[in-house]
Structure 1
Amino acid sequence: MPDLILHHYPSSPFSEKMRLALGYKKLPWRSVEIPHIMPKPDLVALTGGYRRAPVLQVGADVYCDTALICDVLEHVQPEPALYPPHLKGVSRIFAQWADTQLFWAAMGYNLQPKGAAHLFAKAPPEAAKAFAEDRKAMSSNMVRLRPGDATSAYRSYLRRIAHMVEEHEFLFGMDPCIADFAAYHGLWYTRNRVPLLADILNTTPAVNEWMDRMEAIGHGTKEPFSAADAIQVAIQAEPLPAGENLLVDSTFQDDHAIPLGTRVSVTAESFGPEPTEGVLRAATRTHYTLEREDARMGKLHVHFPRIGYVLRKLEGA
């Protein structure tokens, strides 16, 4: 069983998605808490630029984006399944919708002025300003819903989820799958981080009951771990070759006319515009792997999913 190191922070919705998934899989994990805004020097040293939370580290391999991290967990511990065979297609499609459309509607509602004021009620004024500037920089190339529009969409989405969980314990049956974890975390933020706005959930009692079942899964067994210790793990490890790491898909799929061994960048399509640069070591049907060198840690492999990320050849490469 590999040592799983999750770099996250407590109020991060996507981190909550992964904490619950680890609990569901009953996988022990090491917990490195990172800052919720920049600078994040230790995390960026691992990833080479990517700074969204969470990030999963296994030795000198760094896995970015919860969609990819869930694939890693499924490989490490196949049961209970996040992707049951009869739901593989529909659960992934639903999860992609939930991680984007549903999530941004929920956060547009959660971070309306009343919600933001609650979040920073006990913090100095400069903390709220720093958070707003940080998130503005991360969303510079995306369109954000206005609070009223987000509220309307959120109410509609909650009703649709209610229709699903009125019939089953979870979204697609008696057991949770990736769809449940992807749908939960934006709603978790409403209930746990901005409770003064949580009345919107009370209009759909079945959703509240489903959320209780999700919360009961818990976070499993975690061990507090320092960023310095995580860096030491990376120093002492070597990245695994393509095909031997925790992403079983290794067949080269060339959709960009960029051969392996080329210097490239990978950047998120929307939220979080910071690129990671390195040498392309894998480009499969599901993911990219970049090899990069860090002054402290030496050679690292950083992995990204294909969907949601842009691959570019660096000029002069």
Structure 2
Amino acid sequence: MSHLILHHYPSSPFSEKVRLVLGRKQLAWKSVIVPSIAPKPDVVALTGGYRRTPFLQIGADIYCDTALICDVLEHEQPEPVLYPPHLKGVARVFAQWADTTLFAAAMAYNLQPRGAAVLFAHLPPAVLQAFGDDRRAMRAGMPAPQPQDAAAAYRSYLRRIAHMVEEHDFLFGTEPCLADFSAYHPLWFTRQCVPVMADIFGATPAVLEWMDRMAAIGHGRMEKFSAADAITVAAGADPLPLPGDVFQDEHGIPLGARVAIAAESFGTEPTEGELIAATRTRYTLRRQDARAGTVHVHFPRIGYTLRKVEST
């Protein structure tokens, strides 16, 4: 029985990134489909507030953000590698660019009226309104790129990616690495979820050939699972032991303090809990939930803020 539980939904681009990583590593995993908009009571029971999609569950441990999830899966199944030793730094830097700058341009292009009309064609007006309200709340006042500017940037980025895959099967050589999975998922959304917008690939056939190679990786061995069963798994498990070196203090906040962790941008709902680890690369909170029991919720340091919750 697989102990990896991915909480995701089919059209989520970042979920596709992780699904392909699971396929690359030929891992078995359980699939819990989560709502695309709030409320998400089963999600919050496990994460405590974080509601970006996806997140990974291993027993009573909850891993937020695909950057951290990829690290966890690399530890879980080291081969084939996501971070080849000679590319470890550049793969991470490129992946961060792809998950932020490339993703923002692609999605602003994808969700222009022509694309949105296809994506939301079968939704009743009330659901469409709720989706728009939800995403505006998640942006928390962040300005969205203008579609015209995004289209121009997206075309430039596709040409740059084409220059890389004209010489190799994948971005940095003969095998895919973290950079490929991060660059692929926003392009996948264009091609698969709003195909009416896929004419943008016309000038870069090498990108389409690379995307075909990525899609052929597949999603590994998936088994359907319910949210209720995932919560039961958490309630019946003990969190995994923490590593020995669990504290690198950058904030003057001691272990054991009540803290809140939130994304720096998009989906900034905080998760509160007891700070039990602040390593060089991640934070860990211990929290209690009436349904899930004691869980450890893990976040990467990069892209997240930590603050102390003052007692009232």
Normalization by structure 2: what TM-score?
Answer: 0.98
Q: How does 1:1-317 map to 2 (within 5 A)?
A: 3-243=3-243, 250-316=245-311
Give structure 1 stretches of 5+ with no counterpart: 245-249
Alpha-carbon shift at residue 215 of structure 1 (Å): 0.2
CA–CA separation in structure 2 for the residues paired with 1:2 and 1:275: 30
Instruction: In structure 1, give the amino acid aligned to 2:301.
Output: R
Alpha-carbon shift at residue 293 of structure 1 (Å): 0.4
Q: 1:26·1:221 contact (CA, 8 Å) conserved in 2?
A: yes
Q: 2:2·2:28 contact (CA, 8 Å) conserved in 1?
A: no
CA–CA separation in structure 2 for the residues paired with 1:102 and 1:268: 18
Instruction: In structure 2, give the amino acid aligned to 1:271.
Output: F
Moved more, 119-128 or 97-106: 119-128
Q: 2:3·2:58 contact (CA, 8 Å) conserved in 1?
A: yes
Instruction: In structure 2, give the amino acid aligned to 1:114.
Output: R
Q: 1:141·1:271 contact (CA, 8 Å) conserved in 2?
A: no
Q: 1:234·1:297 contact (CA, 8 Å) conserved in 2?
A: yes
How many residue pairs get aligned? The number is 312
Alpha-carbon shift at residue 26 of structure 1 (Å): 0.6
Q: 1:141·1:270 contact (CA, 8 Å) conserved in 2?
A: no
Instruction: In structure 2, give the amino acid aligned to 1:262.
Output: A
Instruction: In structure 2, give the amino acid aligned to 1:24.
Output: R
3-state DSSP of counterpart to 1:291: strand
Alpha-carbon shift at residue 2 of structure 1 (Å): 6.3
3-state DSSP of counterpart to 1:198: helix
Moved more, 117-126 or 193-202: 117-126
Alpha-carbon shift at residue 240 of structure 1 (Å): 1.7
Runs of 4+ in structure 1 displaced over 2 angstroms?
Answer: none
Give structure 2 stretches of 5+ with no counterpart: none
Q: 1:120·1:127 contact (CA, 8 Å) conserved in 2?
A: no
Instruction: In structure 2, give the amino acid aligned to 1:287.
Output: R
Instruction: In structure 1, give the amino acid aligned to 2:108.
Output: G
CA–CA separation in structure 1 for the residues paired with 2:224 and 2:195: 27
Alpha-carbon shift at residue 300 of structure 1 (Å): 0.6
Instruction: In structure 2, give the amino acid aligned to 1:165.
Output: V
CA–CA separation in structure 2 for the residues paired with 1:237 and 1:141: 39
Alpha-carbon shift at residue 242 of structure 1 (Å): 1.4
Q: 1:47·1:62 contact (CA, 8 Å) conserved in 2?
A: yes
CA–CA separation in structure 2 for the residues paired with 1:297 and 1:47: 10
CA–CA separation in structure 1 for the residues paired with 2:160 and 2:2: 38
CA–CA separation in structure 2 for the residues paired with 1:202 and 1:128: 30
Q: 2:51·2:269 contact (CA, 8 Å) conserved in 1?
A: yes
Q: 1:105·1:150 contact (CA, 8 Å) conserved in 2?
A: yes
CA–CA separation in structure 2 for the residues paired with 1:202 and 1:309: 37
Instruction: In structure 1, give the amino acid aligned to 2:132.
Output: A
Moved more, 70-79 or 120-129: 120-129
